[in-house]
């Protein structure tokens, strides 16, 4: 029912030129992959050019953030409608770097998520605990709060169409991937909560991605976990070869 979903979060990397060269290469590398949803998230400046380069391919495009207002005097911000018009179908919301460096709270994540859905974008909502929270045994409680507050007000049909990314903060950019068992445990918990709060149908359709030091050599064991439906990849998504390897190795029997 859920085919694997692999998204590359480029963060603040790649010029327009580099982004277009990347997508042209990726296009031919993954042209025969029909059973994986493939998404790249360039910086805002390259969203339109990447969407053009990916047109009529099996590659989708995401922005990395948005502002919840439609338009107005909000210097430096970009709205969901603008992102959609530039050619993206997805938008990352609440990445831990936004939470930690730019003050995005669960309430802000909630507004951004609703705005994305309202404009017809699919939000990829990021949640995850810090190392201190894990060591204090608070992981599941933190995830509960982030889901409850971040997705507040959404109905079951909306939940079914969004993507949730579990990204333990201690695993991001550190080379320290969560073990498959740790990812599996967190994902099973998230799925259980989504079932309780939104119903089994919607929860079973929602894609749950793992993020944090995903590489070609650990993707297979991660997606072997029943509730891990794919990955949000940072560093390893910047190179066509390693990103393609991750896409190819994410394939498994659909659950």
Mind telling me the catalytic residues? 95, 167
Please select the residue that binds ligand 13P; options are 125, 222, 233, 240, rule is CB under 6 A: 233
167 binds ligand 13P (CB under 6 A): yes
Residue 62: which of 217, 223, 211 has the closest Cα? Answer: 211
Helix (H) or strand (E) holding 231: strand 230-233
Place of tokens 């992102």: 83
CA atoms within 13 A on the CB side of 57: 23
Q: Which residues in 147-178 are b (16+ Cβ under 10 Å) and which e?
A: beebbeebebebbbebbbbbbbbbbbeeeebb
Q: Is 216 in the site for ligand 13P (CB under 6 A)?
A: no
Q: Does 131 bind ligand 13P (CB under 6 A)?
A: no
Q: Which two tokens stand for residue 26?
A: 């990726």
| 207 part of the interface to ligand 13P, by CB under 6 A | no
Is residue 33 within 8 Å of residue 58, measured between CB atoms? yes
In the bound state with ligand 13P, the residue whose beta carbon lies nearer, of 213 and 244, is 213
| Between 9 and 114, CB nearer to ligand 13P | 9
Q: How far is the CB of 199 from ligand 13P (least distance, A)?
A: 28
Q: Minimal distance in Å, beta carbon 168 to ligand 13P?
A: 10
127 binds ligand 13P (CB under 6 A): no
223 interacts with ligand 13P by CB under 6 A: no
Query: With binding defined as CB under 6 A, does residue 234 bind ligand 13P?
Result: yes
Binding range to ligand 13P, per CB under 6 A, among 18-26, 43-51, 80-88, 206-214: 206-214
| Least spacing, CB of residue 211 vs ligand 13P, in Å | 4
Min separation Cβ 200 and ligand 13P, Å: 28
| Interatomic CA distance for residues 123 and 93, integer angstroms | 6
Instruction: Provide the 8-state DSSP code for 165.
Output: E
Residue 199 contacts by C-beta under 8 Å, 6 or more apart in sequence? 156
Residues that bind ligand 13P (CB under 6 A): 9, 95, 167, 172-173, 211-214, 232-236
């Amino acid at each position: 029912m859920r085919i694997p979903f692999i998204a590359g979060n480029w963060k603040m990397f790649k010029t327009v030129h580099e982004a277009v060269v990347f997508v042209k290469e990726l296009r031919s590398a993954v042209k025969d992959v029909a059973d994986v949803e493939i998404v790249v998230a360039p910086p805002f400046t390259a969203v339109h050019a990447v969407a053009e380069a990916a047109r009529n391919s099996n590659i989708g495009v995401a922005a990395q953030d948005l502002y919840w207002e439609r338009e107005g005097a909000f210097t430096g911000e970009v709205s969901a409608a603008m992102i959609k018009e530039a050619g993206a179908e997805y938008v990352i919301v609440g990445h831990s770097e936004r939470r930690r460096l730019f003050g995005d709270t669960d309430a802000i994540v909630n507004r951004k998520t609703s705005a994305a859905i309202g404009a017809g974008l699919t939000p990829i909502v990021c949640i995850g605990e810090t190392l201190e929270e894990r060591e204090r045994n608070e992981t599941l409680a933190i995830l509960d709060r982030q889901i409850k507050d971040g997705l507040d007000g959404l109905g079951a049909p909306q939940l079914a169409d969004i993507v949730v990314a579990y990204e333990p903060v201690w695993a991001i950019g550190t080379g320290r991937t969560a073990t498959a068992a740790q990812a599996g445990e967190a994902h099973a918990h998230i799925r259980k909560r989504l079932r309780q709060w939104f119903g089994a149908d919607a929860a079973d359709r929602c894609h749950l991605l793992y993020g944090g030091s995903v590489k070609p050599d650990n993707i297979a064991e991660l997606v072997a976990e029943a509730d891990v439906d794919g990955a949000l990849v940072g560093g390893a998504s910047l190179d066509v070869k390693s990103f393609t390897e991750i896409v190819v190795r994410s394939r498994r029997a659909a659950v």
